[in-house]
Amino acid sequence: MITNHKKTAIVLFNLGGPDSLKSVKPFLFNLFYDPAIIRLPNPFRWVVAKIISTLRDKKAQNIYSLIGGKSSLLEETQKQKNALELALKSKLAGEFKIFICMRHWHPRAPEVLKNIEDFNPTEIISVPLYPQFSTTTSGSSIKEFNSLLALNENLKKLPLKTICCYFNDEKFIDAHVSLILEATSKLASIENQRILFSAHGLPKKIIDAGDPYQWQIEQTVEKIINKLQIPNLDYKITYQSRATPVEWLKPDTEDEIKAACLIKKSLIIVPVAFVSEHVETLVELDIEYKALADRDKIQYIRIPTLGINNIFIEATSDMIVNFSKNKQQLKNCKQVRACLPHFTDCPCKI
């Protein structure tokens, strides 16, 4: 490895989650006050966020109580940070430091930017821990971070590079394939199994407005299926975690689990859009949805999120290294626009 005087600040974006039951309500307020989530002007968005966070506080506290009274997301992201640090030591030229930046709970962007300023880097690379881009996740984090960065006199002139998505990265796909094959190898037969690739849902109107998320999910699954090479594989893409009464992406994961149970299909659940364990996987998939299968005595296997899977960490570290060498500022990992032209909310520009 060639050393130089480059100092790289690597920022891992994630959603964030409450660190105690008392912080559930303010976390929910931050979530629903995000203009990428509730697309209303103020003061209406503030009022809606206040109402939703109040109404959902007790129920959400009960849910988090099932996993220790707090979100596991920061701890999970810290493990990924540690694994990336080890992987990058032998790959990335110059000095580097990895920072975790959560969108809706601590550590948040203002605090993180202060820590980056203390590090005094020569470039910044941001890496959303959302493989598929959406305006509601990666887009929201990128927009907040970049807007605050532009106000920082010491950082705003630094090269800023953002890996906006990696839904089609070969090693990212390989990581999923390895975990699925490990699970299916333990089955007596794949013939009566159905794989549900479950992703967090979105209101359909967000997709209709040009968000590429659903298309990127479909591309990820297509590449996984092609690499699995399992003849006549029974699988579906489904969406979970519906949160508002408007029309959301379909089919719904819960509905598809019930449908599979009716015909006695064993189930393999793949959290295809989550790379860290959190409430949607640990409670929704592992407790609530599993109970449906257990009730009908249906075999239910939930594939773990990629977490610190060696292939995934290698994929992420390679993307960071390759992007550090590239002069372009906002591209996906292959340095080309991946989304089709009609996805107007894709941040990658030709």
For residue 345 the two structure tokens come to 């909310």
Q: Which of 20-34, 88-102, 182-196, 242-256 has the lowest mean pLDDT?
A: 182-196
Mean pLDDT, rounded, for 309-338: 79
User: Tell me, what's the pLDDT at 3?
Assistant: 46
Cβ pair 24, 70 in contact under 8 A? no
When pLDDT is averaged across residues 31-38 and rounded to a whole number, the result is: 97
| Distance from C-alpha of 248 to C-alpha of 239, rounded to nearest angstrom | 9
Q: Classify residue 117 by its DSSP letter.
A: H
pLDDT at 333: 45
Q: Residue 324, Cβ neighbours under 10 Å: how many?
A: 20
**Is the pLDDT assigned to residue 331 strictly greater than 90?**
no
| Spatial distance between the Cα atoms of 105 and 302, rounded to a whole number of angstroms | 27
The residue length of the chain stands at: 350
* Predicted confidence band of residue 346 (pLDDT cuts 50, 70, 90): confident
Q: Between β-strands 123-128 and 7-14, what pairing exists: parallel, antiparallel or unpaired?
A: parallel
Start-to-end CA span in the chain (Å): 32
Q: What's the number of CA atoms in the CB half-sphere (13 Å) around residue 342?
A: 4
* Residue 98 neighbours by CB under 8 Å, 6+ apart: 10, 11, 12, 81, 84, 85, 88
Q: What is the mean pLDDT of residues 85-111?
A: 96
Minimum mean pLDDT range among 37-51, 68-82, 175-189, 190-204: 175-189
Integer Cα distance of 303 and 15 in angstroms: 21
Q: What is the pLDDT of residues 282-292, one digit of tens each?
A: 999 999 999 99
For residue 89, CA distances in Å to 115, 169, 173, 220, 262 come to 21, 22, 24, 29, 51
C-alpha to C-alpha distances, 37 to 101, 133, 203, 277, 319, nearest whole angstrom: 18, 14, 10, 21, 28
Question: Token pair 């090269």 is at which residue?
Answer: 159
d(C-alpha 236, C-alpha 281), whole Å: 18
**CB 210: neighbour CB atoms within 10 A?**
13
pLDDT band at 334 (very low <50, low <70, confident <90, very high): very low
pLDDT tier at 342, thresholds 50, 70, 90? confident
Confidence of residue 243 (pLDDT cuts 50, 70, 90): confident
pLDDT above 50: residue 1: no
Residues 77-97 have pLDDT tens digits of: 999 999 999 999 999 989 999
Q: How large is the average pLDDT for residues 62-85?
A: 98
Instruction: Please report the pLDDT score of residue 329 as a whole number.
Output: 61
Looking at residue 283, the DSSP 8-state letter turns out to be I
Q: Residue 158 is encoded by which pair of tokens? A: 């630094």
Query: What's the whole-number mean pLDDT along residues 243-264?
Result: 95
Q: Rounded to two decimals, what is the model's pTM?
A: 0.94
C-alpha to C-alpha distance for 323 and 317, rounded to whole angstroms: 10
User: Is 230:180 a contact under the CB 8 Å cutoff?
Assistant: no
Backbone angles phi, psi at 102, to 5 degrees: -95, 145
pLDDT digits (tens, 9 = 90+) for 147-172: 999 999 999 999 999 999 999 999 99
Average pLDDT, the chain: 93
Contact call for residues 105 and 18 (beta carbons, < 8 A):
yes
The pLDDT score that the predictor gives to residue 183 is 87
Domains of the chain: 21-65 (no CATH), 170-302 (3.40.50.1400)
Residue for token pair 């520009």: 349
- pLDDT of 2 reads 42
Q: Which residues of 8-21 are buried (b: 16+ CB within 10 A; e: fewer)?
A: bbbbbbbbbbbbee
Sheet holding 193-200, edge to edge: 235-240, 193-200, 266-271, 300-302
